[in-house]
Structure 1
Amino acid sequence: MDITTMNDAVVLCQTLRLASPALPIGAYSYSQGLETAVAKGWVVDESTARDWIEGLLRLAIARLDLPLLVRLRRALATHDHARLVFWSHYLRASREARELADEDRMLGAGLLRLLGDDSWAQQACAADVPPSLPLGFAAAGLAWGLPEQAALTAYAWSWLENQVAAAMKTIPLGQSAGQRLLSGALEPLARAVTCAPGIADDDLGALAPGFAIACAHHETQYTRLFRS
């Protein structure tokens, strides 16, 4: 095996590692409002689950999380601390429910702890930079030698797989339905990853009010499978 082929294999393995549900940060324990959407009857079957998940992928992940991951990664890569602080606080302010903000902070902090004393993680852990999952993915992507698009793909796939798993548990859906949901979301996911670096600052922002309402209601939902 030549060096280039081996390096490509390592990058692929690191991308799969970052996207894996086995990554020990606890992402599997959150439904991001989906549990409430099921409880309220907004999501009741495979079709409505597809509408919910793909809608969030287009209107939230593609318009906020992924382009901000790009900005955070580039700020880290160029050691631009001012922009790192600015975009980290921008992301924090964009989380519309306490549940979303707390999840983002805890998952991001968990991923940065996993990176240990890596120099990218140390830069991301500066006292005035609030931790977030996009920041953790930005640091992990740099630490593990991933190209920007690979880190974006890992983030989007990780989110998608967690949402489908939550739908399978709460609706519930079978494994074949889960695979159909994943297959159907491949094209919008690829489009989101491809377009994220080109989204202008003025075009940033999620537009999913029902999602924000569901996350806020989930904080006080009487019975829950997922963490609030």
Structure 2
Amino acid sequence: MDQTEMNIPLALVRLTSSLLPVGAFAYSRGLEHAANVGWVTDAQDLRSWLFGTLQHSYASLDGAMFLRLMAAAQECRWQDFQRDDVLLCAARESRELQQEDMRMAEALMDLLREMGVAAAQDQSVPCKTFPAAFALAAHDAGASASAGLAGLMWSLCEAQVAAAIRLGIIGQTDGQKILADAPSEISRALVLAEETPADEIGNLSFLQAVGSALHERQYSRLFRS
């Protein structure tokens, strides 16, 4: 997908900001353990970790499910929305990843209610995953499904780069270089998400799953487990 086709509304840009009070800064998605045991030690390692996960795991699960969630929200098919939200929650590969997702979803839903987003007021739509809550926010912002997914993927990249800087894996300049390459990687991931058939939705991110599972037993931690 061409980056010019995303047409991300400014209201959605606000929702991708690191200032969004959903607690993303508190989690590393397994990166802290990866750094601790030497899997990710420099900028090149981080590129492989981040963009590899984006292309080969996030696109085929979170991305593909987000597109389904957006379609359901746009068509007010709330039973389908809830079903896909529950399926995505169940697909998390570790307890830590699942808890991160649920806590961030809860925080975003609270924010959307405070801001008067209509779908968030409906207590029969209690989002269990952050992509589901983000889909409601993107729909309210008038974003297309592709633009919404681009925003969601950007927030993931930015959060991982910020975590890497805090862990001392990279510096600010390397972080900006990686984020400068993120749009092209996101465009590729969008295509993968859009082309993933319903019966092939899923992922296998072995090192991230192991890293997040073992993180809670790590002696010293900056990030929540």
The normalised TM-score by structure 1 is 0.89
User: Alignment length, in residue pairs?
Assistant: 217
1:119 matched residue in structure 2: 118
Corresponding position: 1:221 with 2:218: yes
3-state SS of the aligned residue for 2:61?
Answer: helix
Shift of 1:130: 4.6
Choose the corresponding residue for 2:134, options 124, 134, 137: 137
List, as ranges, runs of 4+ consecutive aligned residues in structure 1 with deviation greater than 6 Å. Answer: none
How far did residue 133 of structure 1 move?
0.4
Of residues 181, 184, 194 in structure 1, which corresponds to 2:181?
184
Q: Which residue of 1 aligns with 2:4?
A: none
Q: Which residue of 1 aligns with 2:26?
A: 29
Question: For each residue in 1:154-210, what CA deviation from the matched residue of structure 2 results, as whole angstroms up to 9, or x when unmatched?
Answer: 100000000011111113311111112112333221111234233211121112111
- Distance in 2, Cα, partners of 1:122 & 1:227: 29
Q: Over residues 82-112 of structure 1, what are the superposed CA-to-partner deviations in whole Å (9 max), with x where a residue is unaligned?
A: 3122211110111010001101001011111
Q: Is residue 92–residue 130 contact of structure 1 (8 Å, CA) maintained in 2? A: no
Shift of residue 20, structure 1, vs aligned partner:
0.5
Structure 2 unaligned spans of 5+: 1-6
Q: Helix, strand or coil: the match of 2:151?
A: helix
In the TM superposition, residue 49 of structure 1 has moved relative to its aligned partner by 1.0
- 1:23 shift after superposition: 0.6
Contact in 1 for aligned 2:67/2:146 (Cα 8 Å): no
Contact 1:137 1:155 in 2 (8 A): yes
Match of 2:85 among 50, 72, 88: 88
Instruction: Identify which of 6, 12, 19 aligns with 1:15.
Output: 12
Structure 2 residue 76 is matched with structure 1 residue 79: yes
Q: How does the TM-score come out when normalised to structure 2?
A: 0.90
1:122, distance to aligned residue in structure 2 (A): 3.0
- Equivalent residue for 1:197? 194
Deviation for aligned residue 1:70: 1.0
Identity %: 36
Q: CA deviation at 1:153?
A: 1.0
Contact kept, 8 Å, 2:109 with 2:127, in 1: the verdict is no
Task: Output the CA distance in 2 between the equivalents of 1:81 and 1:15.
Answer: 22
Instruction: Name 1:149's counterpart in structure 2.
Output: 146
The answer for the alignment partner of 1:161 in structure 2 is 158
1:3 is matched with which residue? none
C-alpha contact 2:16 2:155 (8 A) present in aligned 1 = yes
Query: Match for 1:126: what amino acid?
Result: S
Whether the aligned pair in 2 keeps the contact of 1:149 and 1:194 (CA below 8 Å) is no
The residue matched to 2:106 in structure 1 has which SS? helix
Supply the distance in 2 between the matched residues of 1:140 and 1:130 (Cα, whole angstroms). 12
Q: Which amino acid aligns with 1:31?
A: S
Task: Kindly provide the amino acid, as one letter, of the partner of residue 150 in structure 1.
Answer: A
Q: Do the aligned partners of 1:120 and 1:142 also contact (CA within 8 Å) in 2?
A: no
One-letter code aligned to 2:108 = L
Question: 1:137: how far off?
Answer: 0.7
Residue 9 of structure 2 contacts residue 142 of structure 2 at CA under 8 Å; is this kept in 1?
A: no
Stretch moving more, 217-226 or 152-161: 217-226
Partner letter of residue 109 of structure 1? E
- 2:101 equivalent to 1:107: no
